[in-house]
Amino acid sequence: MIITRPKPIKEILSMVEMFPDLSICVVGCGICARKIRTGGEAQVSMMTAQLQRSGLDVLDGKIVKHACSTESWDSLVEEYPALDKADMLLVMSCGAGVSLLGRISGKPVLPGLDTTSLGSALKDETLENFCVMCGDCNVGLYAGLCPKSGCPKSQVNGPCGGSIDGDCEVGERECIWAKIYEILESRGMLQLMDGIRPPVNHDRRL
Amino acid sequence: MGFADVLGSGKFVVTAEVSPPRGTDISGALAGARLLQGLVDAVNVTDNQRSMMRMSPIVLCHKLGEMGFETIMHMTCRDRNRLALQSDLLAAHALGIHNILAMSGDYPTMGDMPSTKPVFDLDSVQLLQLIEKMNNGSDFQDKPLDSPTSLCAGAVANPGARPLGPQLFKLNKKVLAKARFIQTQAVFDAAVFNEFADAARHTGIPIIAGIIPLRSAQNARFMNEKIPGVKIPDEAISRMEAAADPALEGMRIAAKTIADIRTNCQGIHIMPIGGHGNTRRLLEMCGLD
């Protein structure tokens, strides 16, 4: 699941202003953004209405099956003709969806959301910061909880000194290291934390 | 005698912290450090502490070295990737800076540039490993340096962090990575510190306890809220509230803490709020002047 957050409407309006006189189609995504309620039916229709109230020429709002994966632009247009009629797309999906539609549509695209992390949807709960796509995965050593992603400081050798009562010093979140330690201890597997872990090999992302 | 030798001699050490300026004029920082002449074994210089932008500590360490001070330069992993860490370690060594305190660093959102990109390419354990490699004549990739460093690397720990288990695990890794001493977060609860010191004793690493003499109840509350890892007990805050002379009461609290932990550490590190005007007096109260 790719985690997205709504952008402030002011920011969206100021982006749209940079493309005057273009008609717009708002595009949501039927997978992640719909599931976590950032780019599903309700959000797309609310955005469409908001932009129309601001006097913008919004032709329609559509949810595509998956914004990041399609056969071709033509096949998308066959299913959603409004996409082709508009001069510009405001895409309420993750960055991958915005980029793909930008590449294949030949039209200006604007992001309607901010993409923040790889996470999960567990029933109605959105879980963030599961993976930073470092290209050098060893999450099995950390009880399945990646500290490169779950710890804001990406500490791979243990917690920093800001872990107080199991809470992280940054924002309202748990200290992932308190959790990793708790699980490994309960499984009798603390030896997995032995030894010094090397830093991420960023070369592997290229 | 360098700081490593002083530590090795078993002496109870005293260090104190100064901060680089938020501008180009370092005269105030040097004047502040002058108050420490003859009082301390080394002066620590902070590295954008609390993620607040300041001058690089390399410059202030160098100038303090010219004044005859032994310095401990703080180095965080927050602002530099592994290339920059190595560059700055070489630069520090070339300028006669012999001691580095390696730490992860507070997160940028704590400070005055919250939108900063946090680096954290290495963590504090890997930074200690890097220093050890450079001392042995190679860079982080194990390629030979033209000339090696000879740096004494220290590490930090927070006795008040909970749960303590993962903290001790990390401390062990720091010892494994050849940290020569541990400097702790400010201690306000002697029992908490002593529990930590007992648990860390098997490593044999010298522990230097961080001490912040409180200035006021208000300032104590501010620290509880804003400084990661600091936990000032309510009792100390009540004493500060009731005191006719809060600064003196803060020193009394600090002196009592030092007395209560003294047999469990090999030194103290003074981190005053707003300069070293009272540091001599505090050390006198502890018989450490």
Where chain B has pLDDT below 50, the residues are: none
**Whether B165 and A185 lie within 8 Å, measured CB to CB:** yes
Determine the pLDDT at residue A82: 93
Say whether pLDDT at A91 is over 90: yes
Whether A103 and A139 share a structural domain = no
Whether A136 and A196 share a structural domain = yes
**Whether A161 and B82 lie within 8 Å, measured CB to CB:** no
Contact residues, chain B to chain A, C-beta under 8 Å: 77-78, 82, 104-107, 109-110, 118, 120-126, 129, 156-158, 160-163, 165-167, 169-170, 173, 176-177, 185, 228-229, 231
Contacts of B236 (CB under 8 A, 6+ apart): B188, B214, B220, B253
User: For residue A158, what is the nearest residue in chain B, using CA coordinates?
Assistant: B170
B123 vs A155, A163, A182: nearest CB: A155
User: For residue A181, what is the nearest residue in chain B, using CA coordinates?
Assistant: B166
pLDDT confidence bin for A7, thresholds 50/70/90: very high
User: How much of chain A, in percent, has pLDDT values that exceed 90?
Assistant: 94
Domain end, chosen from A81, A116, A151, is at A116
The answer to whether B42 and B109 have CB atoms below 8 angstroms apart is no
pLDDT confidence bin for A163, thresholds 50/70/90: confident
Whole-number Å distance between alpha carbons of B38 and A140:
53
Contact residues, chain A to chain B, C-beta under 8 Å: 152-166, 169-171, 177-178, 180-182, 185, 190, 193, 195-196, 198-200
**Among B121, B22, B113, B18, residue whose Cα is nearest residue B71:** B18
Whole-number Å distance between alpha carbons of A80 and A68:
15
Whether A108 and A12 share a structural domain = yes
What's the mean pLDDT when you consider all of chain A?
Answer: 96
Determine the pLDDT at residue A171: 83
Size of interface A-B (CB pairs under 8 A): 99
Q: Chain B: nearest CA to A165, how far in angstroms?
A: 5
**Whether A196 and B129 lie within 8 Å, measured CB to CB:** yes
What range does the domain containing B208 cover? 3-285
Question: Domains in chain B: how many in total?
Answer: 1
Is residue A164 in some structural domain? yes
Determine the pLDDT at residue B228: 77
Whether A172 and A94 share a structural domain = no
Determine the pLDDT at residue A11: 97
Q: Chain B: nearest CA to A29, how far in angstroms?
A: 29
Determine the pLDDT at residue A205: 86
**Among B25, B98, B10, residue whose Cα is nearest residue B55:** B25
Is residue A124 in some structural domain? no
The answer to whether A181 and A166 have CB atoms below 8 angstroms apart is no
The answer to whether B256 and B187 have CB atoms below 8 angstroms apart is no
Whether A144 and A197 share a structural domain = yes
Whether A112 and A163 share a structural domain = no
Whether A102 and A7 share a structural domain = yes
**Whether A159 and B156 lie within 8 Å, measured CB to CB:** no
Helix (H, G, I), strand (E, B) or coil at A26: strand
Determine the pLDDT at residue A43: 98
pLDDT confidence bin for A164, thresholds 50/70/90: confident
Say whether pLDDT at A206 is over 90: no
Whether A164 and A81 share a structural domain = no
> ipTM strictly over 0.95?
no
**pLDDT tens figures, B43-77:** 999 999 999 999 999 999 999 999 999 999 999 99
Count of helices and strands (H, E) across chain A: 8, 7
Single-letter residue type at B57: P
Say whether pLDDT at A153 is over 80: yes
Question: Domains in chain A: how many in total?
Answer: 2
Whether A191 and A112 share a structural domain = no
Whole-number Å distance between alpha carbons of A162 and A33:
33
User: For residue A162, what is the nearest residue in chain B, using CA coordinates?
Assistant: B229
B229 vs A157, A164, A185: nearest CB: A164
CATH at residue A70 = 3.40.50.2300
Domain end, chosen from A85, A116, A147, is at A116
Look at phi and psi of residue B70 and say left if phi exceeds 0, alpha if psi is from -120 to 50, else beta.
Answer: beta
The answer to whether A92 and A28 have CB atoms below 8 angstroms apart is yes
Whether A53 and A103 share a structural domain = yes
Whether A152 and A107 share a structural domain = no
What range does the domain containing A182 cover? 132-205
> What single DSSP character describes residue B90?
H
Q: Chain B: nearest CA to A72, how far in angstroms?
A: 37
CATH at residue B222 = 3.20.20.220
